[in-house]
Amino acid sequence: MYILAFETSCDDTSVAVMQDDVCVALSTRTQLEHDVTGGVVPEVAARSHANAIFPCIDDALAEADITINQIDLIACTDRPGLAPSLLTGLVVADTLALSTGKPILKIDHIESHIFANFLERTESDIIFPAVVLTVSGGHTELYLWKSIFDLEMIGQTHDDAAGECFDKVAKMMGLGFPGWKKIADLAARYTGSFQWIFPLVLLEKDSLDFSFSGLKSAVKRYIDVQIATPEWLTEEKMMQIAFEFEQIVTDILSKKIQRAVEHKWAHMMILAGGVSANSTLKNKIQKISETIQIPFLSPKRPIYSMDNAAMVGIRAYYQYQKNI
Residue ranges that bind ligand KG4, judged by CB under 6 A: 10, 136-138, 163, 166-167, 180, 184, 273-275, 277-278, 306-307
Q: Report how far residue 126's alpha carbon sits from residue 296's, in angstroms, rounded to the nearest whole number.
A: 10
Residue type, 109: H
Number of chain positions touching Zn ion (CB under 5 A): 2
Q: Is 106 within 8 Å of 136 (Cβ atoms)?
A: no
Q: Is 4 within 8 Å of 60 (Cβ atoms)?
A: yes
Q: Which is nearer to Zn ion, 173 or 309 (CB)?
A: 309
Site map for Zn ion, 207-236, x if CB under 5 A? Answer: ------------------------------
Three-state secondary structure call for residue 79: strand
CA atoms lying within 13 Å on the CB side of residue 220: 11
- Least distance (Å) between residue 217 CB and Zn ion: 25
Q: Which is nearer to ligand KG4, 136 or 247 (CB)?
A: 136
- Least distance (Å) between residue 293 CB and ligand KG4: 27
Q: Which is nearer to ligand KG4, 112 or 319 (CB)?
A: 112
77 binds, among ligand KG4, Zn ion, none (CB under 5 to 8 A by kind): none
Phi, psi dihedral angles at 23 (to 5 degrees): -80, 115
Query: Omega into 295 within 30° of 0, i.e. cis?
Result: no
Where is 169: in which H helix or E strand?
Answer: helix 162-172
Interface with Zn ion (CB under 5 A), residue from 14, 31, 136, 247: 136
- Least distance (Å) between residue 277 CB and Zn ion: 11
> Closest Cα to residue 252, out of 319, 137, 151, 161?
161
Q: Report how far residue 39's alpha carbon sits from residue 253's, in angstroms, rounded to the nearest whole number.
A: 24
307 binds Zn ion (CB under 5 A): yes
- Least distance (Å) between residue 144 CB and Zn ion: 20
28 binds Zn ion (CB under 5 A): no
Which residues contribute to the site for Zn ion (CB under 5 A)?
136, 307
